[in-house]
Amino acid sequence: MKKKYLILLLIVCNLFHAQTNIIEKGISEKRSYQELEKEFYSGKLEDAASRQKLAKYYLKKAKSEKSNQNIAEGYVMLHFDETLPNALKYLDSLQQLTKNSKENRYPARTYLLKGNLYFRTENLQLALNNYILGLKYAKEKKNKRQIALAHISLAYLNNYIGKHAEAAKTLRHYAYEADYMNKDEKNTLKLSLADAYIEINKMDSAYILIKEALQESKKENDTYRYYESLGLLGNYNLQSKNYQKAIENLQECKKHFFTAKEQSRRSEHYTLFNMGKAYDGLKEKEKATDCFRKIDSMILKRYYMYPELREVYTYLIKYYKENNDIEKQLYYVDRFLAVDKVLDTQFRYISRELPRRYDASELQQEKESITNELQKRKNLFYVVLSLLLISHLLFINVYFKYKKSEKKYKKIAQDLIQSVNENRVSERMELKNEISVQNITTSEDKATKVISEDIVQTILKELEIFESKDQFLNKGITLGSLAKKVKTNSRYLSEIINTYKGKNFATYLNDLRIDYAINRLANDRKFRSYKLPFIAEELGYNNEQAFTLAFKKRTGTPLSVYLKEIENMEVV
């Protein structure tokens, strides 16, 4: 869910024009082209009518003065608030006017603007084609900013279709390493980067960026950016399972997004979507269902598609199935099939994200079954019989899967115990990371360019002490607290752990604790006799669930199976 995509249009506008002066209101013939452009691209004009009025005046002024450069800019300004056909006419006029232009931003700029237009109207294939053409021409003209615009546009497209890690890499580069981006541009990129971080579960990094954005938007009285940041905070709390906090954040966003003069379809939809998921997390199914029903009604009024709609409709189908409301279940099955058909065309790259229980073929069969039942008014007996049969088949399927998994888990547990006996558990466990470790060399070269070798070696020695003295068992260790302990900053420590340990901080800490647990549980009968909450606390975990989840993720077998096999092998 994680790394807002439809603000891309405004982002690119801001990238074309930096805002530095206070904007005066109204249109005056005495104002220069530069002043008019600053007002248009500043985002201070609150409605489309005001922007169109200014853009038309700008174009009229440019034509009267026969200034081709400014006529071109007038076409650009006018296309933003138009329908797709009219907007394309303006951009076609721009393309014709600039075909012989010596400016190195053309024709790349025209293709990038067309890409944004198609992206905004959800034609991702044409958006991608135009972005690639824009990048091609930007490289030919060696225009650094146009290349950046193309890369950023493609990053947003990647984020939109689920390639969050790739998007984050590009956004991070231009937010921190591009000296030709101004402060406002970098702030916008950082906010988008926070969104991508959530999607790839870099929650600490996302939270830092969100808090910075909230503070700065308050300071600068930037309402739009404040609520976009607050929406991200709601998503962050949702993914962190702080459902009540998420709802509080999103309720505030809802009041703004649904009453603002310039409404954002994406902001409205994702606010309701995340609210629905938060309510579901609190087991308030009626409220969750109400959010998802509103999303469906919004789509019927204003066509808007995005991948998460599959979750919306599968939730509604399941809800009404559990409540034996067959007619509504059938309605949302039909809605799902219609939406899924569009999504499958537009988002082929994310087809793997089809819901586990309701893929297209299964839904089609269920639709036919329910339709026949309603038409023939059959006795409820047949429905019950069908459900029993399906349940029986599912039970058999789950049973055999369980048996297969049980055998696999026992083998893993036995191998772990054998490894403990041979004092090579760490070696065995690290084999799981072999592929990633093989790639450390490149990262290591990059890290040494940023951090001096003396600092690297000092931090590595401190980490060696941290590991040898089992300090990783202390509760509440964070990247920041450990950085302070080893006398460095969080960024350096994170980079070194990623580079030299081949994993991020959270994985590094968990691996140390679990490897310790594997050995001690096998060798210390008294420790093994304690209740799991106490064992988890001894290992530095906040609760039993966190420990058991970490154990399975690290070893590939449940903790219960490991403990059982230890007892079995001792009896033998």
pLDDT at 282: 93
Range of the domain at 460: 411-571
Which residues are CB-contacts of 79 (< 8 A; sequence separation ≥ 6)?
A: 86, 87, 88, 90, 91, 94, 113, 117
Q: Are 560 and 412 in contact (CB under 8 A)?
A: no
H-assigned helices in 347-379: 360-376
Residue 152 lies in a domain: yes
Q: Among the three residues 148, 170, 197, which one is the final residue of a domain in this structure?
A: 197
Q: Among the three residues 197, 227, 251, which one is the final residue of a domain in this structure?
A: 197
Please tell me the number of Cα atoms within 13 Å of 232 on its side-chain side: 32
Which residues are CB-contacts of 252 (< 8 A; sequence separation ≥ 6)?
A: 227, 230
Bond before 558 cis per omega within 30 degrees: no
pLDDT at 449: 56
> How far apart are the C-alpha atoms of 458 and 465, rounded to whole Å?
11
Q: Is the pLDDT assigned to residue 358 strictly greater than 60?
A: no
| Cα angle, residue 383 at apex, residues 382 and 389 outer, rounded to 5° | 90
Number of CB atoms found within 10 A of residue 252's CB: 17
Question: Does an H or E element contain 528, and which?
Answer: helix 525-529
Q: Is the pLDDT assigned to residue 83 strictly greater than 50?
A: yes
Check residues 378 and 569 and name the one with the higher pLDDT: 569
Check residues 441 and 499 and name the one with the higher pLDDT: 499
Residue pointed to by tokens 């951090």? 451
Residue 443 lies in a domain: yes
Q: Is the pLDDT assigned to residue 219 strictly greater than 60?
A: yes
> How far apart are the C-alpha atoms of 210 and 194, rounded to whole Å?
6
CATH number at residue 51: 1.25.40.10
| % of residues, the chain, pLDDT over 70 | 81
> How far apart are the C-alpha atoms of 453 and 202, rounded to whole Å?
27
> How far apart are the C-alpha atoms of 472 and 483, rounded to whole Å?
13
Mean pLDDT over 322-342 rounds to: 88
**Per mean pLDDT, which of 156-165, 302-311, 477-486 is the most reliable?**
477-486
Residue 520 lies in a domain: yes
Q: Are 356 and 394 in contact (CB under 8 A)?
A: no
pLDDT at 260: 65
Sign of CA dihedral 428, 434, 436, 438: positive
| Distance from the first to the final alpha carbon of the chain | 48
Q: Is the pLDDT assigned to residue 364 strictly greater than 60?
A: no
How many domains does the chain divide into? 2
pLDDT band at 424, cuts 50/70/90? low
Sign of CA dihedral 155, 160, 161, 167: positive
Report the helix count and the strand count for the chain, using DSSP H and E.
30, 0
Closest by CA to 118, choosing from 94, 153, 142, is 153
> How far apart are the C-alpha atoms of 402 and 407, rounded to whole Å?
9
H-assigned helices in 422-543: 425-430, 434-438, 440-450, 453-468, 479-485, 490-496, 505-523, 525-529, 532-538
Q: Is the pLDDT assigned to residue 308 strictly greater than 50?
A: yes
Residue 211 lies in a domain: no
Residue 367 lies in a domain: no
Residue pointed to by tokens 């959010």? 291
Residue 143 lies in a domain: yes
| Cα Rg of the chain (Å, integer) | 28
Cβ-defined contacts of 315-318 (< 8 Å, 24+)? 315/276, 315/280, 315/288, 315/289, 316/289, 316/292, 317/358, 317/363, 318/357
Q: Is the pLDDT assigned to residue 237 strictly greater than 90?
A: yes
Residue 231 lies in a domain: no
Two tokens, residue 10: 């405004």
Q: Among the three residues 154, 181, 197, which one is the final residue of a domain in this structure?
A: 197
Residue 386 lies in a domain: no
The structure's pTM equals: 0.53
Q: pLDDT for 26-50, tens place per residue? A: 455 578 888 888 888 876 676 778 8
> How far apart are the C-alpha atoms of 330 and 370, rounded to whole Å?
7
Q: At residue 415, what are phi and psi to the nearest 5 degrees?
A: -65, -35
pLDDT band at 353, cuts 50/70/90? very low
Q: Are 472 and 509 in contact (CB under 8 A)?
A: yes
CATH number at residue 548: 1.10.10.60
Q: pLDDT for 537-548, tens place per residue? A: 999 898 999 999
Q: At residue 490, what are phi and psi to the nearest 5 degrees?
A: -60, -35
